Amino acid sequence: MNEQLQNISTNELYERLEDPEIKIVDVRPVDAYNGWKLHNEVRGGHIKGARNISAKWMNYIEWIEIIESKEIKPEHTLIVYGYEEEQTVKIARQFLRAGYPNVRVYNGFIDEWSPNTNLPIEYLPNYRQSVPPGWLHDLLLQKRVPGYSNNKFVLCHAHYQNRADYEKGHIPGAIDIDTNLLESSKTWDRRSPDELKKVFESLGISHDTTVILYGRFSHPNNDDPFPGSSAGQLAAFRCAFIMMYAGVKDVRVLNGGMQSWLDEGYETTTEEGGKHPAGDFGVPIPSRPEFAVDLPEAKEMLKADDGNLVCMRSWPEYIGEVSGYNYIAKKGRIPGAVFADCGSDAYHMENYRNLDHTTREYHEIEKAWAKVGITPDKHNAFYCGTGWRGSEAFFNAYLMGWPRISVFDGGWFAWSADESNPYETGIPKR
């Protein structure tokens, strides 16, 4: 088996980059793949065309399914690379044992590939807004973090009507933020500019504050209002969207939420984080009104050639088997909306997450969207039932640097409430 495991040189790898029989496998953490320089490499990102299979995932029982979902097959020649040679070789051998006979190892990423600007590297355009736990840990310890100099930051533990989730343990220094502070508990739409201004100032957030948000993935036996769901991290994305719409310039989300922090072995606390009211927010709210679409504009977008209403709901919701919510009676979909399949139900986004709850490889999201006509040249307004899943999709598009993106804030809730609005059920006809 050891004889089958050969190294590949930088020159040979470069020459074979476009070879369809080659699959390059990046086993570093997803944040390194996205662009973070976790080992002080000269250039962040990944080798052009590489697929991300974090070494962490190789301990999951589902790891073969992950590989198959990335269209990596036993007949391909696999080139495995990472940060540390020992770990890279270990993963390569795991591929061999799993029935992938053609596996080679590349150990020159940090010393040869990253420093050479003639060798192609790809990265997530706005990767800095999706932060790794190590970056946050250093920031909280007041260590110098590369590329960041703002001494005004607020860390928020997001939840919906569940302060107990915060009280049972949170990241040190975090304050809690209930989504009800930023959106109406009746319509689920973002609150008025005056209301948002008061809330932000009471939390110590101004337009030039860096805000880092995260939530907890709840387990089935937890006392979360949505047990077993990803509601906590969805709440973080929901708050992120509203803050960006309002005008906070630097909004970031902890990639993978609380789970990523725990996976790194970092401590939590039950000690209350201090809320320090700020002065004036500093800019008019909303400063980015284009980030939000309401019902009239949503109707116009359905008629436009360069616009998409993107449905971030589950298939049962889309075909009208369920409404998705106990407070929405009508079942069905908006005619003309583009289906982008969030996952299993109204409280999950597993089709956009890895098993460790980090955001799915962005190339995969972009490819899936392109198949149904969701492309960066169009104005894409993401929606779901009430805006939460739509907010996560919006943030994904923002990370990818898409120029015209919005959340249709009212979503199916607002659309279905008006009896004059058309709707469809059943499987769409081709």
How far is C-alpha 282 from the chain's CA centre?
28
CA distance 245 to 182: 11
Alpha-carbon distance values, 80 to 17, 54, 259 (Å): 13, 11, 26
Query: Could you tell me if residue 163 is left (phi over 0), alpha (psi between -120 and 50 degrees) or otherwise beta?
Result: alpha
DSSP annotation of 262: H
| Alpha-carbon torsion (279, 284, 285, 289), positive or negative | negative
Strands (E), 286-344: 292-293, 307-311, 338-339
Instruction: Tell me which residue of 143, 130, 158 sits closest to 230, measured CA to CA.
Output: 158
Decide if 384 is catalytic: yes
Residue 345 CB-half CA count within 13 A:
12
Hey, is 231 helix, strand or coil?
Answer: helix
Beta bridge partners of 158: 177
Question: In 204-230, which ranges are continuous DSSP H helix?
Answer: none
Instruction: Tell me which residue of 195, 197, 152, 160 sits closest to 176, measured CA to CA.
Output: 160
Hey, is 213 helix, strand or coil?
Answer: strand
**H/E segment holding residue 299:** helix 295-303
Hey, is 346 helix, strand or coil?
Answer: coil
Residue of 239, 311, 342, 384 marked active site: 384
Question: Catalytic residue numbers?
Answer: 384
